[in-house]
């Protein structure tokens, strides 16, 4: 494993070939980073939190030119996992800090590596309570299977660990026990990644921490689509031939049944290299199901999402928690090899990110004004996109008041400037729309907000049309299957099928309260953001998710071109 510095990370972004809407076998909607001097082999990333976090895997053996026969010393071979994000600051002054502080909060901690002494997976699960600053002691409860001689450390009591911050790299230490080294934090201050280095035998573990994690509820899973990313060891013994990595793409219905696919490196010993290798395979997940419960198996209460195959056999268990904003879950995935053998991997469960097309004119049947007939040249409305900007959940709340506390953005802020023809009376109503794909959520959980670009700092919510399209009502919105037909009611659960396009429609009045250009007759400016407000106790699902395998609207991925830090790579040799 290695943690690269910002200079190297930026160089990777500038020189490496990025591909948007890439696929790994049967798993679509990925972002690939091509092989170069820094990466050695192609990474396949899943995006979380509107591409502010990227999690990806690679296998240097499959991309290599010769079989791997040893478990150590061959840099770049074997499976790897990478996490990328915009960097944050552990000790930014409170007066200038625009994101929540990491201190005085509890973090959930997961670590994975391989113990070379036993050739077994090494895992650690912990909770970390930071004090008021990096100058204070942190308290830790932890459970580990790292030390082969002493077995596990029960998470029964809080233990003091010294916190140090050197050059914006955080370390946690209690004597000779290191729980975190060279760690960085993301810009939202809710994700930390780092390593543990064993000075005795040179082993390293990759560490991921999420702030204020919560256990999963059934409503966090049902009627949703996910990507599942993992890297680790397929079996409980043997480094050579046991390394595995996989990507799953699936939806979970209201009965917790799964439909989807999986691409994986299955962990058996390579006899040849290249993507034709029998070790690199597809697997249908259709007919699989999940069950959800809490477990204290690791001393600290965790969610246990168990996956069953079509024969009702356990195929694997995900032990972990979700981030407070529900943008991703982190934990340990334990694939079942046989009735007596179970591997371990570091894993991320990520709701499919939103992809939306450009803002368009709704068809005439969704317009209140018949003068807006686009078939007549003199009545054409001129649309020009403005202010398509990505904001995290934290950044939205910092920039605009009135954003619901649980609102999670699923698209960029999407802006448009409309010039109405002179044949249209000033102060007229106009219906905009934009397409989305892959939604698998109940409409009652979705929200559309206006976020003005003027001096105003207050967001304003559109109101859903309760029983039919309402193009004559300022500030109304609705979802349809067609550009001018097939309205969907509040209780509708939208299909996650990638072939299904939906349209988000919304009504603005020229010079009205939703018009950011309220002083210019026949000019409408109305930036909006589409998102979800997850429910926690109803039968409806929580959060809206999209399949990014659409053929339009990839501009949201351009955020990755900004400087990022913390490409954390954990290699487990074949």
Asked which of 101-105, 184-188, 265-269, 510-514 is least confident by mean pLDDT, the reply is 265-269
In tens, the pLDDT along 466-488 reads 889 999 999 999 999 999 999 99
pLDDT of residue 333: 94
Model confidence at 32, pLDDT cuts 50, 70, 90, reads confident
**Residue 564 banded pLDDT, cuts 50, 70, 90:** very low
Cβ atoms of 49 and 327 closer than 8 Å? yes
What's the pLDDT score for residue 210? Answer: 95
Share of the chain above pLDDT 70, in %: 70
Over the stretch 322-336, which tens digit does the pLDDT of each residue have?
Answer: 998 888 999 999 988
The stretch 379-401 carries a mean pLDDT of 74
Give the pLDDT confidence of 544-557 residue by residue, as tens digits: 222 222 222 222 22
- C-alpha–C-alpha distance, residues 120 and 385, integer Å: 54
Q: Which of 528, 517, 506 is nearest to 429 (CA)?
A: 506
Residues 428 and 381: their CA atoms lie apart, in Å, by: 12
Note the pLDDT tens digit of each residue in 2-23. Answer: 223 333 334 445 455 788 778 8
∠ CA(167), CA(173), CA(174), 5° rounding? 155
**63 vs 30, 232, 270, CA distance in Å?**
18, 18, 12
Read off the pLDDT of each residue in 259-272 and give the average, rounded to a whole number.
68
Which of 130 and 97 is assigned the larger pLDDT? 130
Q: Which residues pair with 186 in a beta bridge?
A: 87
**pTM, entire model:** 0.74
Give residue limits of the domains in the chain: 2-353+561-569, 360-547
Identify the CA nearest to 328 among candidates 186, 537, 502, 460. 186
Cα–Cα dist 194/164, whole Å: 14
Mean pLDDT for all residues in the chain: 76
**CB contact at 8 A, 514 and 478:** no
**C-alpha–C-alpha distance, residues 318 and 302, integer Å:** 9
Mean pLDDT in residue range 194-221:
85
Average pLDDT over residues 443-462: 85
Instruction: Give pLDDT, residue 374.
Output: 66
pLDDT score at 196 = 87
Q: What is the pLDDT of residue 353?
A: 65
* Region of poorest pLDDT, from 58-67, 407-416, 428-437: 58-67
Contacts of residue 129, defined as CB under 8 A and 6 or more positions apart, other chains included, come to 105, 106, 107, 138, 139, 140, 158
Closest CA to 129 of 111, 107, 110: 107
Distance from C-alpha of 428 to C-alpha of 445, rounded to nearest angstrom: 30
Binning pLDDT at 50, 70 and 90, where does residue 164 land? confident
pLDDT at residue number 447: 92
Lowest mean pLDDT among 76-80, 118-122, 358-362, 529-533: 76-80
CA–chain centroid gap for 350, Å, is 4
- Of the two residues 430 and 72, the one the predictor is more confident about is 430
Q: For 36-47, what is the mean pLDDT?
A: 74
Summarised one tens digit per residue, pLDDT across range 231-257 is: 988 766 555 556 788 999 888 888 899
């Amino acid at each position: 494993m290695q943690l690269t510095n910002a200079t190297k990370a930026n160089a990777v972004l500038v020189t490496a070939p990025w591909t948007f809407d890439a696929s790994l076998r049967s798993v679509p909607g990925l972002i690939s980073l091509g092989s170069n001097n820094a990466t050695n082999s192609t990474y396949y990333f899943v995006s979380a939190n509107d591409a502010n976090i990227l999690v990806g895997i690679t296998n240097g053996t499959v991309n290599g030119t010769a079989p791997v026969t040893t478990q150590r010393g061959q840099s770049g071979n074997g499976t790897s996992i990478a996490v990328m994000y915009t960097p944050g600051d552990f000790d930014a002054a409170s007066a200038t800090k625009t994101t929540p502080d990491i201190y005085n909060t509890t973090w959930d901690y997961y670590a994975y590596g391989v113990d070379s002494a036993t050739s077994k997976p090494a895992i650690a699960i912990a909770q970390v309570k930071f004090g008021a600053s990096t100058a204070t002691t942190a308290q830790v409860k932890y459970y580990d299977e790292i030390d082969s001689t002493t077995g596990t450390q029960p998470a029964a009591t809080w233990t003091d660990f010294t916190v140090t911050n050197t050059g914006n790299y955080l370390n946690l230490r209690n004597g000779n026990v290191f729980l975190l080294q060279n760690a960085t934090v993301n810009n939202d201050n809710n994700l930390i990644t780092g390593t543990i280095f064993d000075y005795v035998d040179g082993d390293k573990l990759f560490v991921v921490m999420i702030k204020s994690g919560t256990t999963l509820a059934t409503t966090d899973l049902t009627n949703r689509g996910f990507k599942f990313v993992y890297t680790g060891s397929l079996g409980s013994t043997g480094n050579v031939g046991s390394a595995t990595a996989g990507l799953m793409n699936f939806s979970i219905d209201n009965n917790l049944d799964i439909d989807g696919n999986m691409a994986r490196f299955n962990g058996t010993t390579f006899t040849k290299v290249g993507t034709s290798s029998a070790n690199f395979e597809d697997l249908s997940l259709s007919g699989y199901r999940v069950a959800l419960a809490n477990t204290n198996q690791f001393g600290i209460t965790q969610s246990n999402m168990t996956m069953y195959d079509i024969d009702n056999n356990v195929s694997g268990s995900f032990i972990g928690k979700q981030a407070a904003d529900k943008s991703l879950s982190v934990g340990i995935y334990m694939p079942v090899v046989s009735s007596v053998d179970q591997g371990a991997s570091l894993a991320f469960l990520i709701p499919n990110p939103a992809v939306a097309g450009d803002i368009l004119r709704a068809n005439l049947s969704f317009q209140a004004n018949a003068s807006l007939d686009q078939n007549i040249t003199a009545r054409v409305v001129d649309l020009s996109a403005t202010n398509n900007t990505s904001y995290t959940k934290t950044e939205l709340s910092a920039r605009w008041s009135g954003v619901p506390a649980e609102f999670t953005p699923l698209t960029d802020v999407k802006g448009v400037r409309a010039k109405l023809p002179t044949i249209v009376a000033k102060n007229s109503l106009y219906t905009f729309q934009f397409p989305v794909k892959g939604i698998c959520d109940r409409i009652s959980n979705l929200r559309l907000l206006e976020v003005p670009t003027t001096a105003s700092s207050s967001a304003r919510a559109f109101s859903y049309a309760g029983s039919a399209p309402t193009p004559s009502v300022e500030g109304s919105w609705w979802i349809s299957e067609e550009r001018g037909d097939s309205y969907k009611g509040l209780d509708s659960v939208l299909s996650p099928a990638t072939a299904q396009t939906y349209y988000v429609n919304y009504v603005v009045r020229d010079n009205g309260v939703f018009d950011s250009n309220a002083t210019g007759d026949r000019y409408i400016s109305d930036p909006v953001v589409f998102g979800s407000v997850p429910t926690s106790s109803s039968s409806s699902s929580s959060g809206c998710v999209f399949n990014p395998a659409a053929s339009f609207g990839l501009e949201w991925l351009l955020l990755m071109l900004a400087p990022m830090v913390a490409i954390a790579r954990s290699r487990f040799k074949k």
